[in-house]
A and B are shown apart, each in its own frame.
Chain A
């Protein structure tokens, strides 16, 4: 079982991305996927969608940010028996720091699970948000093995270059992928990378 933990600020496109990625993994790679999101309402998940995608969807909840982690661990511990899947896609809370989650997931999640940490950077807003939210965004980028710069279709090549440089300076070791979560080819490319954890 492989787990991809996707962090990124609110509105950066995490929900759109994980939904598109789940669809691609199911349809093109014939994989079973467990999707763990912050707000089921946002992707309009219902029985029809679950049936169509053959995908289990669960929602994290719990007052303060701290409340999500116990719920996530609980779902992951049940996963091998209750929902045997190939892939778990976890959309972290938009204001969560992945380093809080990763260590605990690795320690208390299923033993055979491989974890990959992804960070989503919104090409349109990242530089501005960094001015306000430096502690949070820095933590998200630095924790990631793979950085996805999203919404590339909404910025100029110069703006994209600035964001790429900024995230790369924070985490030179991370792989960077630039895409639009609405572009099927981009998502297909990401799915290939995810599958080679």
Chain B
């Protein structure tokens, strides 16, 4: 019996056995990258965000997905200034409570700040794919929110002014509970407080200031019929146990945490755990095989009950699409992927063969070459080859066409000579044109006509 992604996520969150480990790519601003939208565009334009998320669905075949990964939504409404960037989420650059000990009494409404955009897109995505894919609603956890508002003074406050700290945390928890209600009303399946700063404090201080507040949050989520996932960044191994004790259905961790060790703890509490593909060394700078291998190694080394595969945190903006596709492929078809990675290693050991490259400088027509790993076994290669073939069908003898595959020795030699680093890639007249992003047919045809 085939399960939808949503069903798989639900089973994991209910701590049941699953036929396949599900995967949830945290495509925050990276979703915009897939459609050539800058980070600040995709977080401020509902249509662009919606379009980008549909591209995530198409390419990455997620079982669950967040609408956005923006820990600044609430802080912005409550008076923090933000600094925007083209290739990253915004950063908080001012702290309205830095110079006052007064605790605000302002609440937030669904119409404040960028919340209308978030909930509008949530509902649209829910309508479009929500039967198949679990929708995650992420919000800034109360401790990180408190640090946005108070600034770095918060850490000394924890030591020297516990009364103030408790009041500030109570206020931020009320904001969190409001976000829970909003997200559930919008129809999300999983509500996820994201609290990176938790990893920086000791379990003693987590218990003093966060524990009871988080118990309230997870109780509210449960009472309203949704699942919960507690996100933390950094090596939070010392806090995993106390986090489990607050009652989430799942915890999501990043690459700094030894996953096996963390899962031993979460299994004791029967809490699901998600993670933890490294963001920079694997997803951003690795190649497809690196990503496939990492996921396969996780599947081989961890028990599958209570497990979700995901990036360690919000994916860097310009992760090559083929790496996300590779992770998806490894999750959806681990057997085929395992063989593919093994075969790729063997091919890598062959000797150089003499090949002649086309005379790109003296060409009489554009030369369009596609280089793939294995267009049958590699999903990213399949997508790119499909676009290349459509362009070839339409343009015909307007250009010269070359299709080279990493499972053919002579083609490997050609790739080495040309200096092809990433696969799949499309080169036009000997110059790399596409590797991170898979173009549309129209875009590729336009580029060929201009060449």
Contact A70 B152 (CB under 8 A): no
Chain B residue at minimal CB-CB distance from A133: B200
Contact B200 A135 (CB under 8 A): yes
A70–B319 Cα distance when bound, in Å, is 10
Chain B residue at minimal CB-CB distance from A139: B235
Chain A residue at minimal CB-CB distance from B88: A62
Chain A residue at minimal CB-CB distance from B318: A70
Inter-chain contact count A-B, CB under 8 Å? 105
Listed residue (A41, A63, A71) with the most chain B CB atoms within 10 angstroms of its CB:
A63
Chain A residue at minimal CB-CB distance from B256: A100
Residues from chain A with Cβ under 8 Å of B54 in the complex: none
A9–B316 Cα distance when bound, in Å, is 24
Contact A71 B88 (CB under 8 A): yes
B195 to chain A, nearest CB (A): 11
Name the one of B88, B152, B196 contacting A61, with C-beta atoms under 8 angstroms: B88
How large, as a class, is the contact surface on chain B? Answer: 35 or more
Listed residue (B28, B69, B316) with the most chain A CB atoms within 10 angstroms of its CB:
B316
A139–B317 Cα distance when bound, in Å, is 27
List B99-158 residues whose CB lies under 8 Å from chain A. Answer: 151-152, 155-156, 158
Contact A135 B316 (CB under 8 A): no
Contact B234 A129 (CB under 8 A): no
Residue A169 at the chain B interface, CB threshold 8 Å:
no
Contact B201 A132 (CB under 8 A): yes
Contact A135 B235 (CB under 8 A): yes
A104–B255 Cα distance when bound, in Å, is 13
How large, as a class, is the contact surface on chain A? Answer: 20 to 34
Residue A80 at the chain B interface, CB threshold 8 Å:
no
Residue A131 at the chain B interface, CB threshold 8 Å:
yes
A167–B93 Cα distance when bound, in Å, is 30
Residue A23 at the chain B interface, CB threshold 8 Å:
no
Chain A residue at minimal CB-CB distance from B311: A66
B212 to chain A, nearest CB (A): 18
A69–B280 Cα distance when bound, in Å, is 7
Known: A61-B88, A62-B88, A107-B281. A97 touches B314 (CB 8 A): no
Contact B233 A64 (CB under 8 A): yes
A94–B155 Cα distance when bound, in Å, is 12
Residues from chain A with Cβ under 8 Å of B72 in the complex: 63
Contact A66 B254 (CB under 8 A): yes
List B265-294 residues whose CB lies under 8 Å from chain A. Answer: 279-281, 284-285
Name the one of A41, A66, A132, A136 contacting B159, with C-beta atoms under 8 angstroms: A132
Residues from chain A with Cβ under 8 Å of B205 in the complex: 132
A136–B83 Cα distance when bound, in Å, is 25
Residue B90 at the chain A interface, CB threshold 8 Å:
yes
Contact A132 B233 (CB under 8 A): no
A61–B238 Cα distance when bound, in Å, is 27
Residues from chain B with Cβ under 8 Å of A65 in the complex: 196, 233-234
Residue A134 at the chain B interface, CB threshold 8 Å:
yes
A164 to chain B, nearest CB (A): 21
A152–B158 Cα distance when bound, in Å, is 24
Listed residue (A9, A129, A132) with the most chain B CB atoms within 10 angstroms of its CB:
A132
Known: A63-B70, A63-B91, A70-B284. A97 touches B234 (CB 8 A): yes
Residue B247 at the chain A interface, CB threshold 8 Å:
no
Residue B199 at the chain A interface, CB threshold 8 Å:
yes
Known: A63-B91, A65-B233. A129 touches B156 (CB 8 A): yes
Listed residue (B72, B85, B88, B256) with the most chain A CB atoms within 10 angstroms of its CB:
B88
Residues from chain A with Cβ under 8 Å of B44 in the complex: none
Chain A residue at minimal CB-CB distance from B236: A135
Residue A95 at the chain B interface, CB threshold 8 Å:
yes
Show 7 A/B contacts (Cβ-Cβ < 8 Å), sorted by A. Answer: A66-B254, A67-B314, A70-B279, A95-B197, A100-B256, A132-B155, A132-B205
Additional A-B contacts beyond A61-B83, A69-B280 (14; CB < 8 A): A10-B152, A11-B152, A63-B28, A63-B70, A63-B91, A64-B194, A66-B312, A69-B279, A94-B152, A97-B235, A107-B281, A132-B155, A136-B200, A136-B234
